[in-house]
Structure 1
Amino acid sequence: MSTATSTKSPSAGGIAVYNSLKPGAAVPFVTKEDGSVSWYSCGPTVYDLSHMGHARNYVSTDVIRRILMHYFDLKVNFVMNITDVDDKIIIKARRKRLYDLEREKPYSAEERHALATAAFLAYANSNLPLLFEGSDAKLDETNYVARRDAAYGGVLAGGALATTLGDKPGDAEAKTKMHVANMDAAARGLQTGSIFDDAEEILLPYLDSLYKETIDTSDQTMFTDLTKQMEQLFTDDMDALNVLPPDTITRVTEYVPQIVTFIEGIIAKGFAYEANSSVYFDIDAFEKAGNTYARLRPESKNDKALQEEGEGSLSKSLAGKRRPGDFALWKKSKPGEPYWPSPWGDGRPGWHIECSVMASDKLGEQMDIHSGGIDLAFPHHDNELAQSEAFFHRPEVGEHSWVRYFFHMGHLSIAGSKMSKSLKNFQTIQDALATGYTSRSMRIVFMLSRWNDGLEISPDMRKQASSFENTLDNFFTNVKARLAEAGVASSIQKLTLAEAEDKAAVNNNGSGLAGEFEQAKADLDAALRSSFDTPGALQVILRLVRNANVSMSDANADLATIEAVARWVTKIVGVFGLDPNAQPPYESSLGWGPANPTANSAGGGGVVDPKVAVQPYSGVFAKVKGDVAALGLTTETALNTLLAELRPDVEFVALEKEASAAGGQYDIEQLALPFLRAVSQLRDELRRTAVNADNKDKKGAILGLSDRIRDYDLVELGVQLDDQPDRPSLIKFVPVAKLVAAREEKAAAVAEKARLKEEAARAREKAEEEKWAKAKVPPTELFRSNTADFSAWDAEGLPTKLADGSDVPKTQAKRLKKEWDRQKKLHDSYIEKFGSA
């Protein structure tokens, strides 16, 4: 039966998703009839480099988005905001400006030290109060370390603070370690005089406390310079992680007039009030009108710490709230803060109102999906919901539903505390990609956990992800090599997935690999419908690939079905974003490209000059052909006939013409195959010739050339030859770095084996020397030198008296006689071998 229809995008019906608005079991994901999905994602606050916690959020979001678009064929309109005005941005930009100004002042060394000392004490008092307990002496850089260890040594060793519930360290301990690290650096700076280099983290808040109100914020470039730079770096990071760009990006600073209008609308409906030039949301009025507040996290509704965190560090002095839980929609700007005009005076938007206005502007009064990190659920997302539903509230209709499905991505944590910029316990995305991760390996790690679960990356998880990637790497390489060997792969007539499945369906009856393939498609579909269960999906792929590998090891393997499996796996990993080189619908290629592609990456298809592209391969063929001829094996008929008849250039020209006629899309690997097959044929014939070589030197020269071709000439091209008994060598395209690493590992193993062999030989030689040195001693002299234990011996040298003059006990005498007999036998063999002692 034909399976071509299975490649069509499956129906979006039957999807179940975890929805934070309805906690518990997954609920049906109901889409519009036209298949459109509106989605708003909370984007970054751009004040610092993005870290792995951000990667977890945005990559997981990207995987779900890709599944909806490229697996379920839904039309997703994806909107993401950039928060470019916020307390963190204001503080960082202002402090940087003040810090730069302070560095320019003509301080003496004593004045710099006094400034840093004041900052040192202020920072310790605010953040590490235990440093002041148990001593009346003034804290300074000379006694800091001892007091630090006494006060916080337990935390630094991995313990918990006394104020932490239970004994497991978390965010509070991470923050303490951060403050200690800042104080450590400042103490060093005070001792060495490098104040502005080492004490920056303690100087920033101190200078801000002294001079923040003196900064002229009418010039907002100090803020916009920072946010533009960080937004670009964020975009670069997302590109590096193969995260699809949003369909629309919104920025807070571009929406201030709309925010003011939106707030006016909420006030007009009686759900907000003005006080002291700020505007607050009236939770009590909202609930009395029949609405629900804190729908996502009702248990956090009265959490004062979370409420204060949601208001921002610069909002502590805002006054006029009727109730503690009421939150700011518009904040009166204080000196040192940016401001915009409004009916209530100069001010700036509250944090939560930004997303409400931007999302509503782009997606209307109801969206399908709203997403973000789980840490935003309360108060940010709950406040977004409340103020948006207040704005769209119509008494005659009842409670409004602004969001249909809320997706919250799980935390990425380190040693029990969430990865956070504010805790400074993060690894930036740039550092991660520079020190071991690729966009593919990072994505696989995240996909090994459900998107809504917390995740702490462990060495075992990294190993599991690496195993998955290597398994698929090897599978794609082996399939392409088998197809090339069988002559069924062509750069000209590439099969689509549908065509491959049709081809595979001709001779199968649904059993064996074909049956396993159909089951895998059903299992993967079930996993993706179960709230995008990527761990389950990866296991389905892994199981199918392992089954296909077993099938491929058979001499009579069903290559048609294996090819269909490989093309299907290619499509699915493309859907997941695991191939940064691939483009939808991912159905005309086989395998994935480099994990971190660069502008110079070759491979796949592309418009290139084929003659230039294959020069390295044709060059190696010419070199090998010349070196084989130089061996002078004139009597080897088969080898010389092969040298005369091989014409890979003719086959290449035919392929080039065919590709040109098909539109000029060249697959360099396929165009290189004629030259590689010719090299492989010469090498295979060399190996056969070596078996019958009539002298050792000739055989050594032949095998040396054969090994060089395999281990050096072809490795530098990214080509691996697998020797096969009674069959041509299998040609595989493998990344050069991987082949070089394997070659070096093999060389190291050979060297280690030789070292151990030499070491064993030396040990044997030493043992032999010791054996004959002992054998040289006549048995009559064996015990005579042991005057510490014996005092008399008989004529044959056997002890008769112990050192104290008593007779040697009978049992000991028997043991000594046996030892004497062994020495006699050993000495006799020495005499026999060497003639005399």
Structure 2
Amino acid sequence: MDSIKVHNSLKPGGPVPFVPITKGKVSWYACGPTVYDQSHLGHARNYVSTDIIRRILTYYFGFDVKFVMNFTDVDDKIIIKARRQRLLDLEKQKSYTEEEILELGKAAFRAYAKSNLPQLLEGEEELDVNNYKDRKDAAYGSVLKGGSLTGDGKQGDAEAKLKMHINNMNSAVDAINENQVFEGADEILLPYLDSLYKETIDTSDQSIFTKLTRLMEGEFTADMDALNVLRPDVVTRVTEYVPQIAKFVEKVVEKGFAYEAEGSVYFDIAAFEKAGNTYARLRPESRNDKALQEEGEGSLSKSLGGKRGAGDFALWKKSKPGEPYWESKWGDGRPGWHIECSVMASDVLGSRMDLHSGGIDLAFPHHDNELAQSEAYFCEHGHEHTWVNYFLHMGHLSISGSKMSKSLKNFQTIKDALASTYTARSMRIVFLLGRWNDGVEISLDMRTQAETWEATVNNFFTNTKSLLAEVAGTTAVANGNVKALSISDDKPQEGLRADLEQAKKDVETALTNSFDTPQVMRAIAEVIRKANVHINTHKSDTDLPAVEATARWITKIVGILGLDSNASPPYDGLGWASAAAAANLDPTTAVKPYKDVFQAVISGVQALDLTASDTIAVSLSQYLSQLLSQSPGPEFDSLVAAGIRDPEQLGLPYLRAVSKLRDELRRLAPTASPETKKSILSLSDRIRDFDLTNLGVYLDDRPDQPSLIKFVPAAELIAAREEKAAKDAEKVRAKEEARRAREKAEEEKWAKAKLAPEDMFKSDERYSEWDVEGMPTKMKDGSEVPKSQLKKLKKDWDRQKKAHGEYQAKFGGST
């Protein structure tokens, strides 16, 4: 195995050799979520990509990985959301008149505009819901039409944030106009209530905050389970570490790298660097970025004072009224954001760790500050301490040029995505098709590429299983040839076997090159392409052991990558594992659905009324007796004895028997009387479209050959069946509609033709006199009918004469 190289944010440039602190072991701390809202696809990008690397290290390279992740359960965002929700609940309990509620909404509306959309206030009249639209279009119309705030370039985070505020104002206008302030204007109402009453909240009752965080932690965990993300080995929570955090901060102060000011404690960057340490090692270019610094401190920290340096950051924050607090030597306060990870990671993993990971947006200031305070804590005698050996930063998931985030409200939740757009597998494939440290832009092309790759793998698994089912004995498995197909063989491999060896080498190279999953995905697609070519060009002499070995190797790789939520290590199966296999059912229980279908088919054949066709009855009776004498039971027992536990393999003896019996029905049907043929084909269709479809089995009918058994997810087959039924029903409906339309047209045609040409113009009030044939001669005013008009009327008269003649010929009579 080649040595592993990995992109390390501490060492910009290409991948560097990965050398763990302890051979064979990897210590890893991952920054977890701030649990205040539902998780979105941006979180999925981060944590699924992290999971992929963790799985590769564990199941491909064989490392013993200790994976630690935190939940940030005390943070400015959490404090604000929980407090505002409590204030809203209290506000709803007040005895307001309808007019007072409207005034509250309007006041909140103006306050929100002043804080977030100040250009709306530029005008002689006070902003209100009536002049809002005109003000909005005048101030921000160019951005709403796709322009940028600067007037050039593409839209980004700033424009996304602006549009979020406008959307909040739009919703508030609708709510105020509909007298639904509490129900629809919460985005503007919550910050307004917070500005009025935040200091009145009794935060000694911390359940205000923990109720929210425990709920959201559970939601996040459920989302990760749904995405087949492995759970952490150790989970830490900030609220469970506050005493340790305070002690940690005390030591940093004692060592001269932090100072107390007005009840808060700040990290002293100047002192840290004067001692010979380096600050902002991950993003040195961002160290003076004021916006990032303020974001790192949190929105509730703006009024904290006493900092010596502009970049100094809070290790401990003095709690203000309306904020949770813990006792410390500096007074009541709470941890700074960055300090939590330093303390929790070090408590579990010690003074050094191999890996630290998180989204790229955490590099500065969060991770840079983590590094500084941790190295300050652990360094001795002024010597720089290495706290983290490798920093892994996952690329953003972006939409319309802006990162997906809760604060911008431009996100789709994981739950919604899995319910409407993605499966856990398809989402993971999308991320695997891009490098873990590159950004991913949501696009139709990206989705299409992922769907094509998944369909390629699905079809290959299905076709391989079908080929193996066809040869009944699956010789390749029985004699161990599959196990012999490895790159350690002394003899040179040829054909598909050589292709498989090359694919294995390509995947090994890709995974050692900083977990290059796009290259892995290409290698899998390429070996499948070559296997398909081999199958199609060697129909009579397919190297089935090589095909099976290829499918089993792909099964192992996709299992390692986390693409099969039903599979478990060491991923030695063939194809996607079924839910029944994952449930580890005993063989008798696992095979029962297949056995039940076999018995139902036998009963269906026995129930056929074949008295009208003695020859067919005798032939089918003889075939049935022969089939029953060769019961699938003994073959099933031998599979169980061989240790087979996969439900599909265990069900094959029964499925082959059903398929053979159905093939016999189809062979006999053409020679039967029409009525007998109909009943036979009806049973044949039921077996294929219902009995087997509901099991996830598709019979591929082939002329002059036995049907091919294919395992396809039952949901797909049922959906296809329902779609076909809907199309058939639509055809019947359209045909009936067309018939009715024809009948109506025919009725209208003859109703019109019934009128004699002599009478067709006499009811027309435009004319006053007619000749003997019923042609108009004078207009209503007594003037002659114009010659040009007469010419047209004569053509109409001739057509009616012809149609009337056809009517008389068909129905008889004169009129």
Query: TM-score, normalized by length of structure 2?
Result: 0.86
* Residue 669 of structure 1, aligned match among 630, 648, 656: 648
- For 1:191, the equivalent position in structure 2 comes to 177
- For 2:714, the equivalent position in structure 1 comes to 736
Question: Aligned partners of 2:85, 2:559: CA distance in 1, in Å?
Answer: 43
Stretch moving more, 173-182 or 419-428: 173-182
- For 1:622, the equivalent position in structure 2 comes to 602
* Residue 81 of structure 1, aligned match among 65, 70, 81: 70
Structure 1 residues 399 and 494 mapped into 2: Cα distance closer, same or farther (>3 Å)? farther
Unpaired segments ≥5 residues, structure 2:
750-785, 788-805, 811-815
| 1:645-656 pair list within 5 angstroms | 645-647=626-628, 650-652=631-633, 654-655=634-635
- For 1:529, the equivalent position in structure 2 comes to 512
- For 2:289, the equivalent position in structure 1 comes to 303
Which amino acid letter does the alignment assign opposite residue 177 of structure 1? K
- For 1:283, the equivalent position in structure 2 comes to 269
- For 1:446, the equivalent position in structure 2 comes to 431
- For 2:688, the equivalent position in structure 1 comes to 710
Contact 1:614 1:668 in 2 (8 A): no
Contact 2:597 2:691 in 1 (8 A): no
Structure 1 residues 504 and 675 mapped into 2: Cα distance closer, same or farther (>3 Å)? farther
The alpha-carbon deviation at position 246 of structure 1 amounts to 0.6
SS at match of 1:279: strand
Question: Aligned partners of 2:493, 2:282: CA distance in 1, in Å?
Answer: 47
The alpha-carbon deviation at position 552 of structure 1 amounts to 2.5
- For 1:791, the equivalent position in structure 2 comes to none
Contact 1:624 1:679 in 2 (8 A): no
SS at match of 1:729: strand
| 1:468-617 pair list within 5 angstroms | 468-489=453-474, 499=483, 501=485, 509-553=492-536, 554-587=539-572, 589-593=573-577, 605-607=584-586, 609-610=588-589, 612-617=592-597
Instruction: Work out the number of aligned pairs and report it.
Output: 750
* Residue 459 of structure 1, aligned match among 436, 441, 444: 444
- For 1:110, the equivalent position in structure 2 comes to 99
Contact 2:101 2:181 in 1 (8 A): yes
- For 1:775, the equivalent position in structure 2 comes to none
Which amino acid letter does the alignment assign opposite residue 414 of structure 1? I
The alpha-carbon deviation at position 102 of structure 1 amounts to 0.6
Which amino acid letter does the alignment assign opposite residue 606 of structure 2? G
The alpha-carbon deviation at position 394 of structure 1 amounts to 1.8
Contact 1:606 1:667 in 2 (8 A): no
Contact 1:41 1:79 in 2 (8 A): yes
SS at match of 1:728: strand
Question: Aligned partners of 2:480, 2:196: CA distance in 1, in Å?
Answer: 68
SS at match of 1:78: strand
Stretch moving more, 306-315 or 726-735: 726-735
* Residue 376 of structure 2, aligned match among 365, 390, 394: 390
- For 1:214, the equivalent position in structure 2 comes to 200
The alpha-carbon deviation at position 615 of structure 1 amounts to 4.7
* Residue 328 of structure 2, aligned match among 331, 342, 346: 342
SS at match of 1:721: strand
The alpha-carbon deviation at position 367 of structure 1 amounts to 0.9
- For 2:149, the equivalent position in structure 1 comes to 161
Question: Aligned partners of 1:431, 1:387: CA distance in 2, in Å?
Answer: 39
What is the CA deviation profile of residues 386-406 of structure 1, one whole-angstrom value per residue up to 9, with x for unaligned ones?
11111111236x222111111
What is the CA deviation profile of residues 471-520 of structure 1, one whole-angstrom value per residue up to 9, with x for unaligned ones?
211211221121121123499x78989726379979x8511101100000
The alpha-carbon deviation at position 242 of structure 1 amounts to 0.6
The alpha-carbon deviation at position 628 of structure 1 amounts to 4.6
Are 1:643 and 2:624 counterparts?
yes
Are 1:23 and 2:12 counterparts?
yes
* Residue 337 of structure 2, aligned match among 333, 340, 351: 351
Contact 2:601 2:687 in 1 (8 A): no
The alpha-carbon deviation at position 584 of structure 1 amounts to 0.9
Question: Aligned partners of 1:505, 1:731: CA distance in 2, in Å?
Answer: 33
Are 1:101 and 2:90 counterparts?
yes
Question: Aligned partners of 2:290, 2:351: CA distance in 1, in Å?
Answer: 30
Across the aligned residues of Structure 1 and Structure 2, the Cα RMSD in angstroms comes to 3.2
Contact 1:503 1:560 in 2 (8 A): no
The alpha-carbon deviation at position 697 of structure 1 amounts to 4.9
Question: Aligned partners of 2:611, 2:445: CA distance in 1, in Å?
Answer: 51
SS at match of 2:26: strand
Contact 1:603 1:667 in 2 (8 A): no
What is the CA deviation profile of residues 47-100 of structure 1, one whole-angstrom value per residue up to 9, with x for unaligned ones?
111110000000000000000010011111111111111001111111111110
The alpha-carbon deviation at position 309 of structure 1 amounts to 0.6
What is the CA deviation profile of residues 401-420 of structure 1, one whole-angstrom value per residue up to 9, with x for unaligned ones?
11111100000011111100
* Residue 47 of structure 1, aligned match among 5, 21, 36: 36
Which amino acid letter does the alignment assign opposite residue 438 of structure 2? D
The alpha-carbon deviation at position 660 of structure 1 amounts to 5.7
Question: Aligned partners of 1:746, 1:277: CA distance in 2, in Å?
Answer: 71
Structure 1 residues 494 and 200 mapped into 2: Cα distance closer, same or farther (>3 Å)? farther
Question: Aligned partners of 1:747, 1:229: CA distance in 2, in Å?
Answer: 43
The alpha-carbon deviation at position 260 of structure 1 amounts to 1.1
Structure 1 residues 262 and 420 mapped into 2: Cα distance closer, same or farther (>3 Å)? same
Question: Aligned partners of 2:609, 2:390: CA distance in 1, in Å?
Answer: 72
The alpha-carbon deviation at position 561 of structure 1 amounts to 0.9
Q: What is the identity percentage for the equivalent residue pairs of Structure 1 and Structure 2? A: 62
Contact 1:266 1:387 in 2 (8 A): yes
The alpha-carbon deviation at position 116 of structure 1 amounts to 1.2
Question: Aligned partners of 1:684, 1:721: CA distance in 2, in Å?
Answer: 10
SS at match of 2:598: helix
What is the CA deviation profile of residues 412-454 of structure 1, one whole-angstrom value per residue up to 9, with x for unaligned ones?
0111111000111111111111113111111001111100001
- For 1:720, the equivalent position in structure 2 comes to 698
Are 1:119 and 2:97 counterparts?
no
Stretch moving more, 89-98 or 387-396: 387-396
Contact 1:182 1:201 in 2 (8 A): yes
The alpha-carbon deviation at position 675 of structure 1 amounts to 2.9
Question: Aligned partners of 1:333, 1:649: CA distance in 2, in Å?
Answer: 80
- For 2:135, the equivalent position in structure 1 comes to 147
SS at match of 2:256: coil
Structure 1 residues 488 and 643 mapped into 2: Cα distance closer, same or farther (>3 Å)? closer
Structure 1 residues 83 and 161 mapped into 2: Cα distance closer, same or farther (>3 Å)? same
Structure 1 residues 33 and 183 mapped into 2: Cα distance closer, same or farther (>3 Å)? closer
SS at match of 2:485: helix
| 1:166-315 pair list within 5 angstroms | 166-315=152-301
What is the CA deviation profile of residues 1-52 of structure 1, one whole-angstrom value per residue up to 9, with x for unaligned ones?
xxxxxxxxxx4x5111111111111111123453111111000001111110
Which amino acid letter does the alignment assign opposite residue 434 of structure 1? A
Contact 1:579 1:592 in 2 (8 A): yes
- For 2:657, the equivalent position in structure 1 comes to 678
Question: Aligned partners of 1:406, 1:715: CA distance in 2, in Å?
Answer: 49
Contact 2:581 2:645 in 1 (8 A): no
What is the CA deviation profile of residues 530-569 of structure 1, one whole-angstrom value per residue up to 9, with x for unaligned ones?
1101111011011111222222332221111111111111
Question: Aligned partners of 1:539, 1:213: CA distance in 2, in Å?
Answer: 58
- For 1:825, the equivalent position in structure 2 comes to none
- For 2:46, the equivalent position in structure 1 comes to 57
Contact 1:259 1:354 in 2 (8 A): yes
Which amino acid letter does the alignment assign opposite residue 387 of structure 1? Q
SS at match of 2:390: strand
Unpaired segments ≥5 residues, structure 1:
1-10, 771-802, 805-829
